[in-house]
Structures are given as structure tokens and as C-alpha cells.
Amino acid sequence: MIVRRIQIIWILLLSGIIAFALAMAYRWFERGGAFDLATVRIRGIRQADSSAVCLAVEPLFGTSIWQIDLEEVQDRLEDIPGIDDAEVSRELLNGMILRIELAEPVFAVNDSAGTVAVSASGERLPVTFLTDTIPVVDAHSNLSTSVSASLAEWFKNMEFKHDNLVFRYSDEGLSVFMSDWCEVLLGVDNLSGRWRDYCLLEASMSDLGNWEQVDMRYINQAILRRKMEECIDSGEES
């Protein structure tokens, strides 16, 4: 029994000495700069968008990787326009790995300030996200964040080609101009449902070319209007 106690005491003593030695070694290495951030590997970022990420992590160089708050760095990265998600991890001995998920542009807005891409969440993105493969909305009035998100949801889920269509946003909402310049007025709500109803209407009528505007902002019906003529109107606006 006494021998076992002596063994336990020696084990505890040796464990304490080893822990103390490791702590002193860590302090020695840390003071010598062995753990100071020297390398950052960035994954998932384009070269055109890397400058903003570099500016965000530049002040961290020379700081011990064990003193860097990874969650704070992650929040800082996710605040950068165009970054949807970020994951930050340490890399021994003196590195960090940043895994970036970029926002996806789904349409662009052209207004008095210029042309900018908009993400699926309605966020306006840096100019580097502009591409000629996304539809462009000519904005004649201000687009709020909620309206931008509504438009983004529709454009993201759209199942038709937009090459021959012209999109315009005004105080009345979103309008789609067809190849014959007939205006389909969708408003700002339930864009997918209203566009689907318009497609059903178009399929059921032989010719819509005589109408200047097809107003789809009403429940279960469409208002067809000719220029300077009385509207065919008998509905309740949704």
C-alpha cells in the first residue's frame, strides 16, 4: 500500500515537472516569435476580391496565433461586402487558413449611381461581381433592401431566358418588357406567382400585341390597358 502511494506521488510529481517544462518551453517559443502569424492561406476567394480580405487580416501579422480570436476574425470577414460565409482555423506553427464563401450575384441594378450586382439576399456587391450573364434592372426609383431581396428571390428561381427581356423598376414595382414592347407589370410582391399567371394568360390568348400593358398586380386576374383608352378593369388589387 505504501509502495503504491509512493508511486502515485512520483507520477504526480513527474507530471507536474513535465507540465511546467512544457509551459516554459511554450513561453520561450512564444517570446521568440515562433507562433507569430506569418502565413495566411485563403481558399474560395477570387484574386479580384482578395484585397479586402488582405486588409482585414493584415493587422494580425506578428501576433501569436494563440492570441487571435478566430470568431472575431470570422465576423470581420463576413462583414465584407460580397462574402456570405467565412471559416477561420489555425495552422501550426504560425499560420491561419481562411475558407471563404462568396455571394452569388443574381441580377444587377442600373440607377443614377451606376450599375451594381445584387446577391440572392438583396445585398449590393462590389463591382468585381458584375457579369454579363445576369439580368439588369433599370431602376427609376429607389430600391429598398426588402424590395431588392424580393427581386433577387425571383431572379434566382426564374426558369426562363431573360436575353430578350427588359426589366424596369418604378414606383409601381417591377415591369418586364417583352420583345414587342408590351409591358407586364408585376409589382413587388409574389413575383413568381404573378409571372406564372401571366404565362398562363399568354398561352391562352392568340395575340397580346394590341395591348400596351398587362397589369398582374390583382388577385386572380389581369388588367389589360391600351394607350389613351379605357382600361378593362374589374378587380381588387392584391
List the domains of the chain with CATH numbers: 33-102 (3.10.20.310), 105-225 (3.40.50.10960)
pLDDT exceeds 60 at position 231: no
Residue 211 confidence class, pLDDT cut points 50, 70, 90: confident
Residue that wins the pLDDT comparison between 14 and 60: 60
For residues 112-132, average pLDDT = 90
pLDDT exceeds 80 at position 42: yes
For residues 105-112, average pLDDT = 93
What is the per-residue pLDDT for 11?
72
What is the per-residue pLDDT for 233?
46
Residue 180 confidence class, pLDDT cut points 50, 70, 90: low
Strands 166-170 and 114-119, bridge-based pairing:
unpaired
pLDDT exceeds 80 at position 121: yes
| Packing angle, helices 50-57 and 70-78, rounded to 10 | 150
Rounded CA-CA distance 23/146 in Å is 54
pLDDT exceeds 90 at position 107: yes
- Closest listed residue to residue 85, CA positions, set 75, 96, 95: 75
Residue 173 confidence class, pLDDT cut points 50, 70, 90: very high
What is the per-residue pLDDT for 49?
76
What is the per-residue pLDDT for 24?
60
Q: Which helix (H) or strand (E) holds 110?
A: strand 105-111
What is the per-residue pLDDT for 194?
93
Q: With a threshold of 0.85, does the pTM exceed it?
A: no
Residue 75 confidence class, pLDDT cut points 50, 70, 90: very high
Residue 232 confidence class, pLDDT cut points 50, 70, 90: very low
Rounded CA-CA distance 130/140 in Å is 20
pLDDT exceeds 70 at position 143: yes
What is the per-residue pLDDT for 52?
87
Rounded CA-CA distance 74/89 in Å is 10
pLDDT exceeds 80 at position 67: yes
For the chain, the average pLDDT equals 83
Residue that wins the pLDDT comparison between 12 and 56: 56
